[in-house]
Chains A and B, each alone.
Chain A
Amino acid sequence: EAQVTQNPRYLITVTGKKLTVTCSQNMNHEYMSWYRQDPGLGLRQIYYSMNVEVTDKGDVPEGYKVSRKEKRNFPLILESPSPNQTSLYFCASSLSGTFFRETQYFGPGTRLLVL
């Protein structure tokens, strides 16, 4: 089954404690992306990757890191989480990042609470 998986689905942590949210896709997609969704702000792109070892900043990259060492994985790293990073995070992937002619598959979301 074609899917994007994220782990963990729910996480409660404390300020400053490094964490990683994993994202994996099984569709051999080149393009992967991270979004955060906040009430009243909608969906905002954090980082995206057009291929292995190629990553670029989205609209809200501050406080986040990503890596793309393998095609299937695109982890989101919060080196020193802060309460303003409390949010719902979505990972997504598509074949090449050409959105109008291919489906962008979204993961189930990771709900993060930073105390």
Chain B
Amino acid sequence: GEDVEQSLFLSVREGDSSVINCTYTDSSSTYLYWYKQEPGAGLQLLTYIFSNMDMKQDQRLTVLLNKKDKHLSLRIADTQTGDSAIYFCAEGEGYSTLTFGKGTMLLVSP
């Protein structure tokens, strides 16, 4: 079945860039997503990328997709303490079901 892998933890200093990585196995995935979960809350969609794209930029967020290696990354520029959260990579065909990774906890220190 589909599998999505992420590193579990990342620690950065405020103002640095953060890069969270994800690999997936399902080559038929049409869409890849990044979700953010703040403490005690549900998930919120940060951004997504269509599988025929290499890069997508949205303000401080840059998503890079290497389809050949099935590797997805999320770069957060000028990371702030408010960015501390768990980040989930997810893949799917764009509707009905999503397969999530285990989540990467990002800790931003002042």
- Residue among B8, B45, B99 making CB contact with A59, cutoff 8 Å: B99
Q: Which residue of A lies closest to B2 (CB)?
A: A59
Q: Are B94 and A98 in contact (CB under 8 A)?
A: yes
A109 at the interface (CB under 8 A from B): yes
Closest chain-B Cβ to A114's Cβ sits at a distance in Å of: 21
A34 at the interface (CB under 8 A from B): no
Closest chain-A Cβ to B23's Cβ sits at a distance in Å of: 14
A90 at the interface (CB under 8 A from B): yes
Q: Which range holds the interface residue count of chain B?
A: 20 to 34
With known contacts A106-B42, A108-B42, A109-B42, A99–B48 Cβ distance under 8 A: yes
Residue in B41, B42, B88 with the greatest tally of chain A CB atoms within 10 Å: B42
Q: Are B31 and A41 in contact (CB under 8 A)?
A: no
Interface residues of B, Cβ cutoff 8 Å to A: 1, 4, 8, 31, 33, 40-45, 48, 50, 88, 92, 94-103
Q: Could you name 20 residue pairs across A and B whose Cβ atoms are closer than 8 Å? A: A31-B96, A35-B100, A42-B100, A42-B102, A42-B103, A43-B43, A56-B96, A58-B97, A59-B1, A90-B43, A92-B42, A92-B43, A100-B31, A100-B48, A100-B50, A100-B94, A103-B45, A106-B42, A107-B42, A109-B41
Q: Are A42 and B88 in contact (CB under 8 A)?
A: yes
Interface residues of A, Cβ cutoff 8 Å to B: 4, 31, 35, 40-45, 48, 50, 56, 58-59, 90, 92, 96-100, 103-109
